[in-house]
Structure 1
Amino acid sequence: MIKYLIPYLKKGKIGQYIVFEREIGENKAKYKSIDIIQNQTIKDALNKNGIENLYLHQAKAYRLLKNGENILITTPTASGKTLCYNLPILEDILENRAKALYLFPMKALGYDQKEKLLEIAKFIPDFKLNVQILDGDTSKVKRRRILSSEPDIIITNIDIVHYYLLPKMDEWYNFISNLKYIVIDELHVYRGVFGAHFKNIFDRLKRFIPDVQVIASSATVGNPLEFTNDLLNINFNHITESGAPTAKKYFLLINPEDIPPANIATYLIKTLIESGIKTLCFTKSRMQTESIYKSLINNKNIKKDSVSSYRAGFLPEERREIEKNFRDGNLKAVISTSAFELGIDIGGIDATILVGYPGSLMSLWQRAGRSGRHGNDSLIILIPTNDALDQYFVKYPEKLFNSSFEDAIIDKENELINKQHIFCAAYEKPISVQENYYFSNKKLISSMVENSELFYVEDKNSLITLKKFPHKEVDLRNSGHTYTITFNNKIIGTNSAKKAYTENYKGAIYLHRGETFIVDDIDHDKREIKVYPAKPNYYTRALIEKETDILETYSTKNYEKYTCKFVRLKVKEQLKGYEKIEENTGVKLGKVELEENPIYFETKGIVIEFNYNSETNLMGSIHALEHGLIAMIPLKILCDRNDIGGISYPEHPQTNKTSIFVYDGYPGGIGIANRIFNNIDTLLNLTLDNIKNCNCENGCPACIYSPKCGSGNYPLDKNGAIELLNFLLNKEVPYKKNRQKNIIKDDVIIFDIETKYSADDVGGWKNAHKMGIAILVAYSYKNNKYFIYDEKNISDFKSLLDKSKVIIGFNIINFDLKVLTPYIKFDFKETYILDILTEIKNITGRRFSLDNIASSTLNTKKSANGLQSIKWFKEGKIDKIIEYCKKDVDITKSIFEYGIKHKKIYCNLKDLKVEIPVNWDKYGWRD
């Protein structure tokens, strides 16, 4: 069926958008005889299950485990990894009543595993396998009953090990004392923050069972042994070669150009359902999942009960029902976030659609492997978004098949996390100064002793904590408390505190099971988010302001044109509002301002420092480089761009240089920044390659626009970023030849605008472009004169702009230039913009009025204010507006000249005159 569907798709509506296709050939099975199994009863049980031979990797795993080795299995998805360990473990239970602990990152995986174990065990005569599941839904009474039943295998998760097993080791004693095996499935999940916690919990568990045999299985990553050793600190035999057969897979890359990828996905799902092809569609966000689902159920040709969305935030009973219906064939298509990426048994799937590159080759092929599991041909369709990484693979599709997989990482040196777990370890059992755990954490433990956080027992040979149950203070996923999302007092979903801050603010759009809601109220005490149903034509995107302080420098690398430092940072992130974006076109409909309390955290990052003189817009150039760099990082490191933060400064107050910061977006760090630091030159070259080869003129989401930019992707200068990267990498700057001809940029101007309407008149500051120009006054240094424009002749101002190498003003980025946009279209890529207010905020972290700066620096004041000017406009007193506007330009000019001369200006804070250091010569205004 799949083979004949592809020509149909190529001739249909989307045929013109298919930019790459490939047939991935089948592989024949490689078998080993089942006779290697020592126990005849087990062999008979497998035969009754229809298993007559073992795949090559299954046989190898069996032999190694029987020899007492630890094994790591990284064969592809659907290669039969579970039998690698189930087989020898069942044999050992049958012969020796051995015990095994299975750890899975998702409940559904655990239930799948239990069914598979019991399916084999039921064919073993006179043998009753006792497999029990312990998870968050298991009551305390049932947990005690399970443990007292002497289970052979307990299937659980790392949360239970942390919160229940380790602190209550006396209840687990009978099971743990006989424990021979620990199985850790989906090992690649335990990276980043979660991985740092997992490592610590496993280290604590090994204190009680140091000789346990470990079986780990993982999706393919670039550094499997290094990552596993970082995580578990155990030597493994690595099994990579698979003996499992694979059927043909057909791969299509569909680049929709100006059509939203979600629309293409909707069309494809509808087509596949009509063709009888069971389909799983992956998206990159909850909102996109719900948007596609909503489009499908609104189609009269699609039965509502034949499709479903699936994502985190659904209630457990909802997820179980969807899984069952998909497995049983009642659902023909499911649209999911990454939640279905792991190996839950959902039956045979014929096609996998990926809306957007999932951020890593590991995830791409893990998701692709969900289809074609029963030996049938399958179809994989990747629909790139406008994201830079997606479009990188549109330009270089072969890299999807021949690039090495990304490295998985954790940060073993996250002291915030390590310290929490040392408290837990000392609570569970005194830490002996002779044990390995002590020596592995000696430096931090010594610090905790000095700070009276750990205490020696009388003989000075061991340490304890006086904390009462420190486990409850540990947040394994660093997500904060869970918030419930309610409508009419009924819970319809959940979200973590961390995500709720940027996703569920007041006014935010929330989608659930095809319905649209708007956040109405947030009760932080009750951790409740109230929503109401609505039918808006837009979605929302948070606007975040960030600031950084360098607390410590770990390492420095000096390159010819720049210095890169690996540093400890203090980061401030503050939600300042959100944008409303039209659902179908992506057009920005406006901004809504919010004043939320900021989030502060310490983390690890890198800072790229340099001195740079150019004719380009410096802020736009470094901002664009920052976006482009962050977009390329997942090519080398297994992470999501949402794990990474960034901010750029024309001059950072601590470095006194132009500085670009990129940092781990989690307290304490998660190991990404250190990898960036060690690969910075490679990543900068990838960034240059991607931006330079993008077909857009002035920048787009495929190169420098970021979907999570806190300032709404303003300002950005694509050509400036190319020139800057060429400079940093010591390459030629070819694009300079293409500058505007016959226009000599040799002027420096200062300007200010007075408007016809107030913010209240046009619906808020977000609509500054609607406020209209009453008067614009500009001062030209070249001509040494003031120019005055009204709305009728404002187009003449463009000739002055065209000849200006530097444009100066106070709050011009967030106000004056936005007021100007309906009148003049101007490309600022070859012009510096010095916004004095933005400079002050970058240095001090605060905003000060022009009046405050003028009175403190010049001992002078403004002659009026904006509202008075609007009143004069309504009264026809244009001369007064010109006089007032000219005075503001003159004040701004005097502040600028004072700063140039004295390298400082002043502000007033709580009746104190505070000095603000500035360096405005860097804008090249004298040249």
Structure 2
Amino acid sequence: MPAAGQGKPAVPAARTDDAVPRVAAPREEGGPAGLAALGPAELLHRLRVRRASVEDSSITHVERVAARAGRTVPWPAWVPRSLREAYGFEPWEHQAAAASLAHAGQHVVLATGTASGKSLAYQMPALSRLLEDPRATVLYLSPTKALAADQLRAVARLGLDGVRPATYDGDTPRDEREWIRQHSRFVLTNPDMLHHAMLPGHARWAPFLRRLAYVVIDECHTYRGVFGSHVSHVLRRLRRLAAQYGSSPTFVLASATSGDPEDAASRLTGLPVTAVTEDASPRGAVTFALWEPPLLPHEDPDLPPTRRSALSETADLLTDAVVAGTRTLAFVRSRRAAEVVATMTRRSLDEAVPGLGRRVAAYRAGYLREDRRAIERALMSGELLALASTNALELGVDLVGLDAVLICGYPGTRASLWQQAGRAGRAGGEALAVLVARDDPLDTYLVHHPEALFGRPVEATVLDPANPYVLGPQLCCAAAEAPLRPADLEMFGGRAAHAAVEGLTRTGALRKRPTGWYWTHQGRPEVDLRGTGGAPVAVVESATGRLLGTVDQGSSHVMLHQGAVYLHQGASYVVDDLDLDDAVALVHAAEPDWSTHARDVTDLSVVSVREYVDAGPVGLFLGEVDVTNQVVSYQRRRIGTGEVIDTRPLDLPARELRTVAVWFTVSPRTLLAAGVEPPDVPGALHAAEHAAIGLLPLMATCDRWDIGGLSTANHADTQAPTVFVYDGHPGGAGFAERAYGTAAQWLRATREAIASCGCDAGCPSCVQSPKCGNGNNPLDKDKAISVLDAVLASLPNRAAADEPNAA
């Protein structure tokens, strides 16, 4: 079961999760096809009977989360009367508890379910302070612009005199920025703007920083991996400058339910943080279905079975929902997938009811700001009945009146799963969420092991502030803002920070003086918080010069190579040229009957070993590695059949990465004893590697696209058969450490996922990978089970990190 409060609360229409009075959008009286609009329960029944019989049903499990009444408490005595009257209702118990801790000066994190009213918990102390002290200021940080804009509307609607809330982000006109610096007392921004503009220009923000009373960090569970590690140092830089101007703000954090909110918030801020986790908000009933697409018939019995794609299945379900008048949001994993699902749904709807396709749209990052805002308005007004969206809509924007959520593929973490599911649900009504499994090991495992979703707490948030590829650049940023003093280094990590500063001094990036360490260059350090590898690549239509959107540097080699098919708002384009120096891809409109799939080659060498477990014939290691990857070609595959038309070479530069990896070795003698003959070793290790990558998100807050792998029958550095799994970010992101610490549990789930798959020789549900640069060849499913049996027989059952050896 999820943590309490994961569903939309059953609350009166006058109260919403942003704690601002508003009337909920009315339900449509009739569906677009003339049918009465179906509620979530009726829709699930209709979806269930889409198959010919119960035995053919794609639903593998239905979890029902019961409705729950809320518990209110009187307003704390310290809340001004004007603020109580502006809200017009009493707070939930958890809101008052977190707010009172913050009012008393304790740093606090509120980790409760979706729509549990976390906004009020930080608004209460922050706005009370602004009303009582006309000089005080508050800084609000969110991971997305949309969330900050939504919070601005919430605070502005309260109509409080003198607060003067304002958003300060990349969309803020320059003529407004000076007014905000001088007059706004409640500034809403994001970590990127804080890092790139506010902290480097801190002298212009001196009055604001001098009076800073509270720092609010919303949706703090999103700050994980490399991004979270960078943000942790941005917050330390903020604390340092605030102290220099004479303030010591209280930090108030809001999070989705998390496995360790107190520890994660402490690592993020560098401060002792108290957690409030008991959710006292009401919750409407939630019906959660797990859905496995059907197997497709094969004319050739020698081919491995494949399932209907999750994208096609989601598009069909979204079509059924729209025809039934059920307002629905479909979450998909990628920008391209959002376009595909929206296009397929529109096409099916127009065939059923001409013109109905206009009520469905795609939504994703990379759209221009005005396009995103127009789509948001159309959904809220009811002009649009459904959206196919990336996780850009997972957070923040208050989507009133949605009945159902379709989740196309496990989003990587249980926290994200419940966050997405919580976007559905009307006041007092039941919500429907459906997880549509992709044909990969993790999704297949989850739809057949519902206890892994519903019977466990959400994951721990993984971030590593000591990552040298994060720490060094962030120390340079801090030194450029104000000289680093020895006392500052304790805030940035103590011993690790001292070592980093010494290294930066040796290379000339910093210069030591009696008053501290100084940044030696004219310009500011160029540091990318999100680890995307540089400026985004602009996608430009050659014939018109029109900017279609952007793609991050890390994905550009795969998505925008010459000849790639690029999708945008339902239209397809073919890439003519990718200019990496100028970060521009030129495209032309086209409707090819094929799709493109990049292929790459990877080399890996071990740099150092941090820790290891000696388990006799099996060794488990954690350490630094160098990874070289190059996209060398792409396949064109026929749409519909998947037939490979041809493979075309590419001339793209190799990318080099120093990162952290976990790896295990097995002696050849042990493999032979397990029945794995030498010719079988490459395929067995390769299959085990794919499945292990697919199952790692069960243990850590990562996605399979955050990690990579390599397997070899005799690696040059280990002199043994070896399987590597590495973080796909410079310096690592903490995922390999989590894998090392839970190795026995992780590999046991991997073994079970392979063994329980019904295929004969391996398929996407167990050992095939969509990102394999070798075209999923060779793979040996049965021998992979033998390899994992041998490893698990030797590996200690408890977490491997319990008894590490220092290398």
Q: CA offsets, 1:531-581, max 9 Å, x none?
A: 122222332221110001111111121113311121111110010111223
Per the TM alignment, residue 473 of structure 1 is displaced from its structure 2 partner at its CA by 4.4
Alignment correspondent of 2:290: 253
- The answer to whether the Cα contact below 8 Å between 1:420 and 1:474 also exists between their aligned partners in 2 is no
The residue type equivalent to 1:704 in the other structure is: V
The residue number in structure 1 matching 2:20 is none
TM-score for the superposition, normalised by structure 2: 0.87
- Aligned twin of 2:718: 655
Structure 2 segments unaligned to the other structure (5+ residues): 1-38, 296-307, 796-807
CA distance in 2 between counterparts of 1:482 and 1:9 reads 40
Q: Map residues 402-551 of structure 1 onto 2, 5 A cutoff.
A: 402-435=455-488, 436-437=490-491, 440=494, 441-457=497-513, 460-487=514-541, 488=543, 489-551=545-607
Out of 263, 268, 271, which is 2:320 matched to? 271
Contact 1:62-1:88 within 8 A present in 2 as well: yes
- Partner of residue 634, structure 1: 697
Matches within 5 A, 1:163-174: 163-174=196-207
Contact 1:438 1:445 in 2 (8 A): no
Name the CA distance, whole Å, in 1 between partners of 2:530 and 2:434. Answer: 34
Per-residue Cα deviation, 1:664-703 (whole angstroms, up to 9, x for no partner) = 1111111111111222222111111111111111001111
Match of 1:145 in 2: 179
Alignment of 1:734-745 (within 5 A): none
The equivalent position to 1:21 in structure 2, one of 62, 68, 90, is 62
Q: Secondary structure at the match of 1:209?
A: helix
Give 1:207's aligned amino acid: R
Q: Is the 8 A contact 2:615 2:794 kept in 1?
A: no
Deviates more, 1:89-98 or 1:251-260: 251-260
Larger relative contact order (Cα-Cα within 8 Å, sequence gap ≥ 6): 2
1:610-649 aligned at under 5 Å gives the runs 610-612=666-668, 613=672, 614-615=676-677, 617-649=680-712
Query: What is the aligned partner in structure 2 of residue 235 from structure 1?
Result: 272
| 2:195 paired with 1:162 | yes
AA of the residue aligned to 1:472: E
1:128 is displaced (CA, Å) by 3.6
Offset from partner CA, 1:164-186 (integer Å, 9 cap, x none): 11111110000100000000001
- Structure 1 letter corresponding to 2:167: I
Q: How big is each residue's C-alpha offset from its partner over 1:599-625, in whole Å with a ceiling of 9 and x where there is no partner? A: 112111122122223326111000001
Give 2:213's match in structure 1, choosing from 149, 157, 180: 180
Aligned-partner Cα distance in 1 for 2:606–2:780: 27
Amino acid at match of 1:188: H
Q: Hey, what does 1:878 align to over in structure 2?
A: none
**Cross-structure match for 2:149:** 111
Q: Which residue of 2 aligns with 1:392?
A: 445
Are 2:249 and 1:212 aligned? yes
1:5 and 1:420 map into 2 onto residues whose CA distance is 52
1:697-776 residue pairs with structure 2 within 5 A? 697-730=760-793
1:689 matched to 2:752: yes
Q: Aligned partners of 2:487, 2:752: CA distance in 1, in Å?
A: 53
Write the letter of the residue equivalent to 1:376. Answer: G
% identity of equivalent residues: 31
Structure 1 stretches lacking a partner, 5+ long: 733-927
Asked if structure 1 preserves the Cα contact closer than 8 Å seen for 2:604 and 2:626, the reply is yes
- Selected match of 1:41 from 58, 62, 82: 82
Counterpart Cα distance in 2 of 1:439 and 1:345: 38
Q: CA separation of 1:37/1:376 partners in 2, compared to 1, >3 Å: closer, same or farther?
A: farther
Alignment deviations for residues 176-206 of structure 1 (CA, whole Å, 9 cap, x no partner): 0000000000111111111111011111111
Which amino acid is the alignment partner of residue 81 of structure 1? Answer: K
Paired residue secondary structure (1:270): helix
Asked whether the equivalents of residues 511 and 519 of structure 2 are also in contact (C-alpha less than 8 Å), the reply is yes
Residues 589 and 394 from structure 1, CA distance in 2 versus in 1: closer, same or farther, beyond 3 angstroms?
Answer: farther
> Which residue identity is paired with 2:231?
F
**Counterpart amino acid of 1:357?**
Y
Q: In 2, Cα distance between the equivalents of 1:708 and 1:508?
A: 16
1:627, CA displacement in angstroms? 0.4
C-alpha displacement at 1:583, in angstroms? 2.8
AA aligned opposite 2:697: P
Contact 1:424 1:469 survives alignment (8 Å): no
8 Å CA contact retained: 1:432, 1:438: no
SS in 2 for 1:653: coil
TM-score, normalised with respect to structure 1: 0.76
Distance in 2 of aligned mates of 1:724 and 1:184: 45
User: Does the 8 Å CA contact 2:466/2:493 hold for their aligned counterparts?
Assistant: no
What secondary structure, in the 3-state scheme, does the structure 2 residue paired with 1:281 have?
Answer: strand
| 2:103 alignment partner, one of 62, 66, 70 | 66
Measure the CA separation in 2 of the matches of 1:169 and 1:392.
Answer: 50
Which whole-Å CA distance do the structure 1 matches of 2:146 and 2:46 have between them? 36
Equivalent residue, structure 1, for 2:633: 577
Q: What amino acid is aligned across from residue 72 of structure 2 in structure 1? A: Y
Is residue 2:322 matched to residue 1:292? Answer: no
Bigger shift: 187-196 or 556-565? 556-565
Q: Is the 8 A contact 1:608 1:659 kept in 2?
A: yes
SS in 2 for 1:251: strand
Q: Deviations over 1:766-816 (max 9, x none)?
A: xxxxxxxxxxxxxxxxxxxxxxxxxxxxxxxxxxxxxxxxxxxxxxxxxxx
CA contact (8 A) 1:433 1:439 kept: no
Instruction: Report what 2:12 is aligned to.
Output: none
Aligned pair count reads 721
Q: 2:73 aligns with which of 32, 35, 42?
A: 32
RMSD over aligned Cα, in angstroms?
Answer: 1.8
2:663 paired with 1:600: no
Distance across 2 between alignment mates of 1:475 and 1:109:
19
Q: How does 1:804-843 map to 2 (within 5 A)?
A: none
- Find the partner of 2:164 among 109, 123, 130: 130
Answer yes or no: is the 8 Å Cα contact 1:561–1:730 preserved in 2: no
Q: Which amino acid aligns with 1:600?
A: E
Q: Is the 8 A contact 1:445 1:454 kept in 2?
A: yes
Give the structure 2 partner of residue 200 of structure 1. 233
Contact 1:297 1:303 in 2 (8 A): yes
- Cα drift, residue 381 of structure 1: 1.0
Q: Structure 1: how far apart are the matches of 2:365 and 2:380? A: 19
Q: Distance in 2 between matches of 1:681 and 1:205?
A: 40
1:79 paired to 2:98: no
Q: 1:719 to 1:439 in 2, by over 3 A?
A: closer
More displaced stretch, 588-597 vs 105-114 = 588-597
CA distance in 2, matches of 1:261, 1:451: 50
Q: 8 Å contact 1:570–1:600 — kept in the other structure?
A: yes
Farther-moved stretch of structure 1 (463-472 vs 568-577): 463-472
